[in-house]
Amino acid sequence: MAAIRDLTRGVEFHRLEQAIRRGDLEDAIAALHINRGAFQPVEAKLVEAFTAGGQGAVATMPAAVSIGFRFDPGNQRAAAIIRETAATLITRLTQGEIDQARAFLADGMARGVGPRSVALDLVGRISRATGNREGGLIGLSGPYREYVATARAELASTDPALLRNYLTRKQRDRRYDRAVARAIETGKPVPPETARTAITRYSARLVRLRGEVIARTEGLPAIRAAKHEAFQQLVDDGRVEVMDIIRGWSTTEDGRQRDTHDAMNGQEVRGLDMPFTSPSGAQFRWPGDTSLGAPAAEVIACRCDEFIAIRKWPL
């Protein structure tokens, strides 16, 4: 969320609007100032999560092998893991924002939409309450942007079916439901200012939701990778034999788990290199890991965990 606030604060709005008016797509992109530096808070949090994950793993180790042992996030291998993890994520986020902004601006220019309207829809409007831009498309993935577009169309419609569909959106701000219900009853559209505010709130909530998905999809695997690394450091220190380590898949069973992960609950492997295997054929070094080619369908927002135990150790 800090990164998205930084991105929207850094927009040269007048330059963006004028570039759209001229049809200068490259200058419009330049006016957004989307770069890796904006996502530094995300990188810092990943490093924090990784360090905490390693320290937490040490706390679970048997005292017989862990007395005086400390997780070292500065270890060459550990540092490389978190550096690569952060770099991959930040590159993906940065390029994704640029690509999606380019597509949105190009579409707006091609359709002849008003330059100011296109610019505001992309970067959001300044909130009187917070002073930040809110409700824009920056920070939203492609599917979430489609949600905003269809919700905007629903609120602009007088079709009762479309308006009722808007009322099924979980991330909507329910304070505007009465205005939507009135539009259904009267056959008149939702007042434009009310619709605009409702969409702004809806978009802001989707940005926050995406942040939570990124936290689960990227943050939790960083913690699990650190746990794995902590036990590798224990092996490197000569305190335990690698084949004495047993790793198990622990599924979060709350009715929302994937069927494949449900089937994997309790699956055990020996050592630190043997992967877990899903019924789909996907393999993981730990839940959420993609280094062995596991697809997004197997890792996004995965809440499973890996338990690690030592079945025997030197006394």
The rounded distance, in Å, linking the Cα atoms of 148 and 142 is 10
The rounded distance, in Å, linking the Cα atoms of 202 and 134 is 10
**To 10 degrees, what angle do helices 192-214 and 177-186 make?**
130
Contact present, 148 and 140 (Cβ < 8 Å) = yes
pLDDT band for position 314 (50/70/90)? very low
pLDDT at 128: 83
Q: Tell me: pLDDT of 151 over 80.
A: yes
The number of angstroms, rounded, from the C-alpha of 240 to the middle of its chain's C-alpha atoms is: 36
pTM above 0.85, yes or no: no
| Six token digits for residue 55 | 């320290």
pLDDT band for position 106 (50/70/90)? very high
Mean per-residue pLDDT for 68-78? 95
Mean per-residue pLDDT for 31-40? 94
Maximum C-alpha span of the chain = 79
Query: Which residues lie below 8 Å from residue 13, measured CB to CB, with a gap of 6+?
Result: 31, 119, 123
User: 3-class DSSP state for residue 55?
Assistant: helix
Q: Tell me: pLDDT of 315 over 80.
A: no
**Domain spans in the chain, listed from the N-terminal domain onward:** 2-214, 242-310
Mean per-residue pLDDT for 281-305? 91
Contact present, 249 and 266 (Cβ < 8 Å) = yes
**pLDDT, tens only, 260-277:** 999 999 999 999 999 999
pLDDT at 312: 65
**pLDDT, tens only, 197-243:** 999 999 989 999 999 988 888 888 889 999 999 999 999 999 999 99
The rounded distance, in Å, linking the Cα atoms of 152 and 14 is 25
pLDDT at 60: 92
Mean per-residue pLDDT for 173-189? 96
